[in-house]
Amino acid sequence: MSSNVFGVSKRVSLTLAAASAALALAACGSSGGSTGSSAGAAGTPVRGGTLTFAINSDGTCLDPHQSPADVDGFFARSIVDSLVALSDDGTISPWLATSWTVSPDQKTYSFVLRDDVTFSNGEKFDGAAVKANLDHIVAPATKSQLAAGTIATYTGTTVKDPTHVEVHFSAPNSAFLPSLATAYLGIEAPSTLTKPPSELCSKIVGSGPFISSGGYVKGKGIDYVRNAKYNWAPKNAKHTGPAYLDTLSIRSLPEDSSRYGALTSGQIDAIASVPPVNVAQLKSTPGFRIQTAAAPGGNYNYYPNTAKGPFADVKVREAFRAGIDWATIVDKLYFGVFPPGKGPLSPATVGYDTSIESAYRYDAAKANQLLDQAGWTGRDAQGYRTKDGKRLTVVHPFLKQFAREQRDVVADQVQAAAKQIGIEVKTTNPEYTSYIKDVAAGNYDLIDFSWQRASPDALRTLFGSANIPKDGFGTNGSRLSDPALDKDFTDALGTTDLTKQAALYGDAQQRITSAAAVFPIYVFNYVLGSSTKVQGLRFEPQAFPLFYDAWTSK
């Protein structure tokens, strides 16, 4: 659910250089594409020990009900538990709820809850706590910028008894359980939810494996101690009982070289976002290890405006897709750390359709042929194609100040490559609010962002006609409006059967590909570097490293 458009954890760090921008935790990764060995498979876990972890972004508000930032969900994950847990393959496991059923009309979810769970402030977890949390998320006063949107059709919770609740929706929402599994819908101690939202921004209380009494301190990070009473780990965890680590510290180190140096000099145990240029070096350094996990959901993609301008012509879109050697640009820039995208979704997403990949191959001859067919046959003095005396120009508003992972370099190279096939890409660097305004009004030909999310429902977010930008930013950047596509999405929301979902989302990926409504750039990989004494760190499907099973050897 990391809604991470520019990867920037929302309002967080636009620190000076793009360097910081960060995001690390951006939404990242699912072990679906995990290439790292399961670190920590070796040896018997040791209790005790401490772990200091450095990330490249800074939080905004610790309360996941309020904040949309990836980093905040990551901070909160160790403190709050969820009703259910999501696995890499898209299946749901019990956590605070031991079982659940969905009504035939898909509008009511009934949960059976554990009765042995207490929050770290001593409160007991029960049905009323579930209701208090869901109600808190959707309350306008909470001003939730992400969580509320994932349960937009929520109508209320009925508490049958302390261990039985029913959650009601006004429309089928098969993405509810995967959403419920994220930290954003995590369960906080009900008595704390009556506090003003600003207090929850620095301190939250949950039932999770770690407790943070000091809470989040801006510019510094967050410190946790183990919850010694913890005995309700999710079914997909590697062990039960309390966490292995005594204490856990997460520090914000936005500057890449500082973070990397702090790791290699032994000052911290593990870091997020190893700079791509350092990955090979760290791999070959004894005593260190790299773990990567591909983020599910939308890749970092470019989206053409299919509603107006040159890209309204599908031939021009196809030509742009075929005429630029995207894979080479990405491979050269990221040293293979981020693989090139080959479709609207990341391969780590459940329901990813490999059959569409061939459509995204580089073929300059085909591109030129398509442009000729589209009528862009003239050439002007600079070598750009023209039609009726008008140059083939596409405008690409690009927020340079938010650029991370050298996306500005990508933009420059795309511009140069497009010139080879006679297309002029005008990259502008607008101010943030005028960017939002232009996106809302459709005044662009090309926009870029990444949209990570653990479920293939990301496709609906990215290509559903309801999400075409109107009042403000919208996630359907290509402004695609296809009733057949919308029907796929609605049908998929109406079934919790993963096989049926896969067929529907597969069809959607085919349609999006034949409409040439996306130019995939790269798959975001969560690149975690650590000392080899850190064991058992693994990724949750959504993206974040999990510390519950982690331990450190002496």
Partner 1 sequence: MTIALAADERRGGGRAASSARSIGLAVLRRVGYAVGVLWGAVTVTFAALHLKSGGIIDAIIGQAAVSPEIRAQIISDYALDKPWLVQYFDYLGHLLRGDLGHSYNQGMDVTTAIGDQLAPSFELMAAGVVLALVGAIVVALLTANRPRWIRGPFAFLEIVGVSVPAFWFAILLLTVFSFQLHWFPAIGSNSLRGLVLPAIALAVAPGGTLAQVLRDGLERALDEPFVTTARSRGIRETAVLVRHALRHALMPAITIAGWLAGAFLGGAIVIENVFSRQGLGTLTVGGLGRRDFPLVSGVALIAAAFYVVINLIIDAVYPLLDPRLRPAAPTTSGPANAAAASITSTTSPSVSATGADQKGDR
Which residues make up the interface to partner 1 (CB under 8 A)?
Answer: 3, 5-6, 10-16, 20, 54, 58, 60-61, 63, 66-68, 140-141, 143-146, 148-149, 152, 197-198, 201-202, 217-220, 251-255, 257-259, 261-262, 264-265, 267-268, 401-402, 431-434, 436-437, 440, 449, 461, 467, 471-473, 475
Least separation in angstroms between CB 552 and partner 1: 18
- Give Cβ neighbours of residue 31 (< 8 Å, ≥ 6 apart): 88, 293, 538, 539, 541
Q: Which is nearer to partner 1, 142 or 552 (CB)?
A: 142
SS3 for 122-141, per residue?
Answer: CCECCHHHHHHHHHHHHCHH
- Two tokens at 505? 């989302």
Least separation in angstroms between CB 419 and partner 1: 30
Place of tokens 């509320």: 148
Q: Which is nearer to partner 1, 55 or 316 (CB)?
A: 55
Q: Which is nearer to partner 1, 165 or 521 (CB)?
A: 521
d(CA 533, CA 39): 10
Least separation in angstroms between CB 190 and partner 1: 20
Q: Which is nearer to partner 1, 418 or 458 (CB)?
A: 458
- Give Cβ neighbours of residue 150 (< 8 Å, ≥ 6 apart): 1, 175, 176, 179, 182, 184, 185
Least separation in angstroms between CB 427 and partner 1: 19
CB 333 within 8 A of CB 325: no
Least separation in angstroms between CB 544 and partner 1: 19
Closest CA to 521 of 365, 292, 332, 319: 332
Q: Which is nearer to partner 1, 113 or 175 (CB)?
A: 175
Least separation in angstroms between CB 465 and partner 1: 15
Q: Which is nearer to partner 1, 218 or 308 (CB)?
A: 218
Least separation in angstroms between CB 430 and partner 1: 9
Least separation in angstroms between CB 271 and partner 1: 11
Which DSSP letter does residue 305 get? -
d(CA 437, CA 419): 28
d(CA 326, CA 520): 8
Q: Which is nearer to partner 1, 50 or 267 (CB)?
A: 267
d(CA 63, CA 55): 18
d(CA 292, CA 36): 6
Least separation in angstroms between CB 355 and partner 1: 30
Q: Which is nearer to partner 1, 295 or 324 (CB)?
A: 295
Q: Which is nearer to partner 1, 204 or 322 (CB)?
A: 204
Closest CA to 23 of 85, 63, 68: 68
Residue 322 φ/ψ, nearest 5 degrees: -85, -25
d(CA 124, CA 28): 32
C-alpha distances out from residue 98 to 17, 85, 166, 232, Å: 47, 11, 14, 10
